[in-house]
Structure 1
Amino acid sequence: MPAPRVIETRGGRLEYAAAGEGPAVLCLHGGMGGYDQGLLLGAAAVGDGFSVVAPSRAGYLGTPLATGPSPEQQADVCVDLLDALGMADAAVVAISGGGPCALQFALRHRERCRGLVMISACSARLEIRLPWQYHLMRLVAHVPALAAAFGRYAMKNPERALVRSLPAPEARARLLADPEAAALWLALQATIGNRLGDRMPGTDNDTARFRAAAGWPLEAIAVPVLAVHGTADRIVAFSHAEQLAARVPGAELLAIPGGEHVCLFAHRSDIRARAAAFLARTTP
């Protein structure tokens, strides 16, 4: 995995990593994430043929929360990142809690945004009850050795960890039958116990802001949008994608029947094919 770098933006210090060559794709991670999970998002969703740029959003890993606690500020910082890299524009691929930053990037910087791919992404007020795992991880984050032990346990018992995310046996079988998806899933699990305490400020900030959000003016988005979402998502309800597809002019919806929040891994090949075709249409 490429080593992260740091730049100074109008908001403050920003950590990011980049990989690949081709049209720029800005990959925005979700909760408990960071640049490493952004790179994995790019690998799973778009594959080769793109320059994947993965920032650690505010409050995650090497990016202080003060750099941009709001989705609007995070979008502005992403523009600074593109400027620093000499990139005129980028498509945006966002997952879960990366969704609001992606929406603001399209709303505030239309000329820099070629399109949005929203995967299991938050695009409305988050009303679902927080899972018990979230509260457990907040406690574990205060004890680095325990957090690391959780990560090691997940790596040694991947199928048990997988059951929590994909309770349906057919979904687990589908993921494990795809060697690339299984490898990416294991890589994602390996990040969870790594510096968990440095991932929680951003996670807590996102959670509080999204649960209090009044909504975003989705009708004003004027770039191509593809919403990908599992119909059985227990973290970000499927209604987020339905609203997004209904309110953004011309938006496309790829519904994954019975898909959970991690449908990107269980349905990697289908989602990547649709995302690649979408991104090809947004690339001059």
Structure 2
Amino acid sequence: MSTHATTPDGVRIAYQVRGEGPPLVLLAGQANNHHWWDGVRDDFHAARSTVTLDYRGTGESDKPDRPHSTEGFAQDVIAVLDDLGVDRADVYGTSMGGRVAQHLAARHPHRVRALVLGCTSPGGSHGVERDNDVRRSLVQQQPGAARQALLELMYTPAWLATHLGPYQVLGDPAMPAHAQRHHLVASNRHDAWDLLPGISAPTLVVHGSDDLLNPAANAPLLTSRIPGARLHVLPGARHAYFDEFRAVASPLVLDFLTAVP
């Protein structure tokens, strides 16, 4: 069940709270809603409550036809925290959610106690972009071909052979076309390079070694740029490491958060 917060520009943002304990905000990837986290959010409930949201343009949130940005998405997270009366929270962002989390931690340091950045990038001219073969695979015209390419970028062949779906990380199927475009532009225009040294929250960077959708070379860039950040690379993992490798990734994140004073 969702509750709604209203942003300063009048957009209603749907959010969901599960569990009990100190809050952990979970931020999904581009063009996805809170269901991105369905497979793993229970992993955190022994020690945390979890807060998810539907980005503007997705799920039960409003879908205004106007430009979006990762900085703007971060402002939407602040609106949710304000609506909940939460002063500080731990934040775990993956993919575009990690880009949103960078703005959140850099621009609102008093609201972020600890930060986890998963399978993400600093963006801009310093970020390492996916190669052209990957780009072409995601715009194939044959029915189902682009979806299959995305699945194979998310998960290993061995995992796909034994997990037949449903898959929650392939985008919100109910998104209108204008919202999909706004999300794509927001993610592509992200550039937090100059902001990263100002992040003061203890930070863990997590990435799959075999991630081609958001190349693994971005992980050490983030780690070197954020003061005191730690890096953990999961061997053999692709973009959806948090799902396929949850038995390692979820305890890793929880242990990090628990160790932060």
Give TM-score, length-normalised by structure 2: 0.82
Q: Secondary structure at the match of 1:107?
A: helix
User: What is the aligned partner in structure 2 of residue 208 from structure 1?
Assistant: 185
| Distance in 2 separating the partners of 1:274 and 1:51 | 17
Aligned pairs for 1:98-113 (under 5 A) are 98-113=97-112
| Distance in 2 separating the partners of 1:133 and 1:244 | 27
Name structure 2 gaps, 5 residues minimum: none
Q: Assess if the C-alpha contact under 8 Å between 2:122 and 2:190 holds in 1.
A: no
| Distance in 2 separating the partners of 1:101 and 1:271 | 20
Q: Assess if the C-alpha contact under 8 Å between 1:28 and 1:94 holds in 2.
A: yes
| Distance in 2 separating the partners of 1:200 and 1:43 | 32
User: What is the aligned partner in structure 2 of residue 245 from structure 1?
Assistant: 223
User: What is the aligned partner in structure 2 of residue 123 from structure 1?
Assistant: 122
Q: Secondary structure at the match of 1:93?
A: strand
In structure 1, which of residues 226, 234, 254 is the aligned counterpart of residue 212 of structure 2?
Answer: 234
| Distance in 2 separating the partners of 1:90 and 1:257 | 29
Task: Pick which of 64-73 and 254-263 moved more.
Answer: 64-73
Aligned pairs for 1:144-183 (under 5 A) are 165-169=154-158
Displacement of 1:82 after TM fit? 1.0
Q: Assess if the C-alpha contact under 8 Å between 1:38 and 1:55 holds in 2.
A: no
- What do the CA deviations read for 1:6-39 (whole angstroms, capped 9, x no partner)? 2212132111111111110111100231022245
Counterpart of 2:227, as a letter, is: P
* 4+ runs deviating over 6 angstroms: none
Q: Assess if the C-alpha contact under 8 Å between 2:13 and 2:53 holds in 1.
A: yes
Name structure 1 gaps, 5 residues minimum: 141-145, 155-159, 177-181
Change (3 A) 1:80 1:232: same
Q: Assess if the C-alpha contact under 8 Å between 1:172 and 1:266 holds in 2.
A: no
Counterpart of 1:122, as a letter, is: S
Counterpart of 1:249, as a letter, is: P
Counterpart of 2:184, as a letter, is: T
Q: Secondary structure at the match of 1:196?
A: coil
Give TM-score, length-normalised by structure 1: 0.76
Change (3 A) 1:101 1:239: same
Displacement of 1:131 after TM fit? 3.8
Change (3 A) 1:37 1:190: closer
Q: Secondary structure at the match of 2:8?
A: coil
User: What is the aligned partner in structure 1 of residue 254 from structure 2?
Assistant: 276
Q: Secondary structure at the match of 2:197?
A: helix
| Distance in 2 separating the partners of 1:261 and 1:57 | 20
| Distance in 1 separating the partners of 2:119 and 2:77 | 21
